[in-house]
A and B are shown apart, each in its own frame.
Chain A
Amino acid sequence: MLGVMSACAPPKLTGTLVYARGGESDQLDPIHVDTGESVKVIINVFDTLVTYADDSTELVPCLAESWDTSDDGLIWTFHLRDGVSFHDDTALDSEAVVVSIERLIVPDHPLVFDSVIPYAPDFSVIESVRAVDRLTVEFHLREPSAVFLANLAMFCASIVSPTALESQGRGFSTAPVGTGPFRMEHWVRDQQLVLKAFDAHWRGRPQLDRLVFVPVRESAVRGQQLQRGEAHFADDLPPAELDKLAAHPEIEVQEVPGMNVGYLAMNADRPPLDDRRVRQAVWHMIDKQRLIDVAYAGQAAPAINPLPRTMPAWHDGLVDRAFDVEEAQGLFREAQQDLGFSAPLELELFVMATPRPYMQQPQETAAFLKESLRPLGIELRIVTSETTLHFKRLSGGEHQLALAGWSTDNADPDNFLYALLDPDNINDHGGNNVCRYRNQTVHELLIEAKRTIDADKRIELYREAQELIFADAPMVPLVHTKVRVAHRKELRGYQLHPTGLTWMRAAHIEDGQP
């Protein structure tokens, strides 16, 4: 039997994959991070209880083989896979799951070594988690939640090795131990982060020997390295650069419609943007297709509403406001007569200094908007800030107009509409409703949808909310960008996931090392 297996399954197990990326991971303890560069590594080192299917955002078993729910939706029982072990040979059991989840919800947990836990609110619905037996875990929720299961698939709910946490303490964040397909080998910050295949992974040993993450800040250099075969995989490349790479015979570009939205936020607390005619007029002035052509090299879809088009709750019945200068001027003049503000209207547009996945070229987008709004009698002054400062200023409401955006955390509509447009999220400590949009009806709909388990009923609630939001125009949704990565053709078996996350467990290199 063994002989047969080894005879018929000798895919090349050799190979080092070099992954050139734009930045460095901060640290690798799943509960403490918020940056994409950290997530890229974490998802390859850890597993979660549930995960996404290979080609969709459908939730499928991972470390949990199956689960069931009580009738009132308050108790969830997960049955763990047997025989799974961590990289340090600890066996996965229910206690490990309890520790991993309690680190997110129990204040001052003894195995938490840093008090910054960005995603804690997403798990506050969990009242308690307990081990029933070696392989059974029970979650008690405070109220029924439609997003609870999706949140368990997020990287921050990764299952960590309790023994490693205990023995390493703070050191865990640079030498993480999970059950994932790759284990940590070594890390020289800003130079090289090396993962090694985990021979005893429960899905079988991954086909790559080593996975080397290299931060290369200049996107042009990443492209160059890919062409020369020094790197096999590169991401965060500028759209025009990617188009050139796609034409290269040894390089393949993969893309998925990203679950994100880039938008122009209009601060409703700053007159005359509190008047919805003004906001609608701004909307009418923006030729989204042209914007996509010049600032996204055509690689994005125009947005009508903050929800990504790939979500089931996306409202397919809404028709975008046309690019129509006359219509815009009509609305604008009407508002101007009623409110009596002077023209030309000078407004500040806040712009982030570095690209985001949903806003790949903030400066170009800003320049485009400045030119777009000029005919309406709006003169923009562009104020650029370092990215975290930009968002700090936005949540403090310092802006009039601002470029902003959002990428999915858990592929759920709540994560867009509630996060970005609910009055609960207006606060100057990082609140994400930077449009300062307050609509009581929308608020009630969003809260109800949060608690509604029935999928169809939930979609109905979200559709209604989307209609109201569209009419009020608190923001101009600009684009849903595509997530695009480039890799050399000898890298096989890699499929870019719809969430844009880069799992490497199935990848292998055809011809060995370059």
Chain B
Amino acid sequence: MIAFIARRAVLALLTTFVAFAAAFVAIRALPNNPVLARFGQHAVPEQVVAKMDELGWDRPVWRQFIDFLVDVAATGDLGESFFYPERVVDGLARTFPATVELTLAALLIAVPLGIVAGVAAAVWHNRWPDYLCMAGALVGVSVPVFFLGILLMVAFQNMPTGGRLPLAMSYDRSTEFIVLESLLRGRWDVAAAALRHLCLPALALSSIPTAVVARVARSSMLDVLGADYVRTARAKGSAPQRVVFRHALPNASIPIANIAGLQLGQLLSGAVLTESVFNWPGMGTYLVAAVQRSDYNVVQGGVLLVAIVFVTLNLALDVLYVLLDPRLRHAPGAQ
């Protein structure tokens, strides 16, 4: 077991490192020149050359990579954005919480709704709740999230459609987990405003995970309901609710938990479209803007964080899977 975890952890580290190196090389291969970009339409040739030299960006990429690693080892810092005076870690601390809150809100909608729909579909298999659930799930995965976003914006004209707080609201805070922090501090007004701003983006973002969770919940419930022990419980005269909630659902929960975990990873790194439609100051838009401007340090730092989050989540899921599933627990060399 421990050997298994250790092996997976080493692989996860390796994956993260390669992802980071790939980002480092790829961003430098883009035709854009960030130094020139700093000058807009007012470039000064001598200054451009001097700056390139100062930053070492005219050196070979492998050399820059080594320099960078040495730099990180010496300072423990990922550097600063090239376009504005902000450290990359500060930029991530500013934008990642926004994405986390959006993702969690979306999953808070998606998981319960998906489970309810999936269970209902399984219990009333091949009857109208089933058809409704399947149709809903189909639409959920098929409608583009940006189209859904536009529809929501048009439909709910008096809901906030951009940003995290009302434009004029200034709120002194120490983190960007606005909802969480204001709740902990008892600032109900801020929390309420922040939650209102969270509604539409979270709703739009939840469409795909809801559908996915519903599908998985349905199929694993169907599997379980067909299993011997459930039939036995039924035959012994257990009440239908009891069969579903005491016997079936707990056993169907492993695949559901797994798919929810995978969705978490997907959303944390891939909410770019939703963030763009709703002007959400999250990490997706932060990174896309950085790629477009070739802001080297920001892209590298962002990819590093995304890779760490993704890889860690997957590792955690694998381990959980093994721990939860009794069949896998004793199998040597599982997976």
Q: Which residues of A contact B (CB under 8 A)?
A: 16, 18, 20, 25-27, 34-35, 114-121, 170-171, 173-174, 186, 188-192, 194, 212, 214, 216-218, 221, 224-225, 228, 230-231, 386, 388-389, 391-392, 395, 406, 409, 427, 429-432, 513-514
Contacts and interface: CB of A to CB of B under 8 A. Distances in A.
B36 interface: yes
A115 B50 contact: yes
Given A115-B50, A189-B84, A121 B44 contact: yes
Nearest to B43: A430
A18 B31 contact: no
Interface stretch (B10-18, B121-129, B160-168, B322-330): B160-168
Contact of B48 (A190, A217, A225, A430): A430
What secondary structure prevails in chain A residues at the interface with B?
loop
Interface stretch (B135-143, B212-220, B264-272, B275-283): B275-283
B288 to A, nearest CB: 11
A116 B33 CA distance: 14
Given A118-B39, A388-B40, A224 B47 contact: no
A18 B167 contact: yes
B189 interface: no
A120 B168 CA distance: 37
Given A115-B50, A170-B85, A221 B162 contact: yes
B41 A35 contact: no
A513 B293 CA distance: 37
B170 A186 contact: yes
Given A190-B94, A231-B167, A406 B41 contact: yes
Given A115-B47, A118-B44, 11 more contacts: A171-B85, A186-B170, A190-B95, A190-B286, A214-B167, A218-B279, A389-B37, A392-B31, A429-B36, A430-B44, A431-B45
B253 to A, nearest CB: 38
Given A16-B168, A427-B45, A214 B163 contact: yes
A22 to B, nearest CB: 11
Closest 9 CB pairs of A and B: A430-B43, A34-B40, A388-B37, A429-B45, A118-B42, A190-B281, A26-B84, A221-B162, A389-B32
Contact of B83 (A26, A427, A432): A26
B38 interface: yes
Contact of B293 (A186, A228, A388): A388
Contacts of B77: none
A118 B43 contact: yes
Contacts of A121: 44
B32 A221 contact: no
B223 interface: no
A16 B169 CA distance: 10
Interface of B: 31-33, 35-45, 47-51, 54, 83-86, 91, 94-95, 153, 157-158, 161-168, 170, 276-277, 279, 281, 285-286, 292-293
B68 to A, nearest CB: 20
A116 B167 contact: no
Contacts of A120: 44, 47
A225 B35 CA distance: 35
B85 A173 contact: yes
Contacts of B165: 191
Contact of B39 (A34, A216, A228): A34
A392 B36 contact: yes
Contact of B162 (A18, A216, A429): A216
B94 A188 contact: yes
A20 B163 CA distance: 11
A173 B83 CA distance: 12
A189 B51 contact: no
Interface centre among B40, B85, B157 (most CB of A within 10 A): B85
A18 B48 contact: no
Contacts of A118: 38-40, 42-44
A513 B95 contact: no
A419 to B, nearest CB: 9
A512 to B, nearest CB: 12
A218 B163 CA distance: 11
B44 A230 contact: no
Nearest to B176: A188
Nearest to A190: B281
Contacts of B276: 217
Given A16-B168, A117-B47, A430 B42 contact: yes
A386 B40 CA distance: 12
A223 B35 CA distance: 34
Contacts of A406: 41
B225 to A, nearest CB: 47
Contacts of B167: 18, 20, 192, 212, 214, 225, 230-231
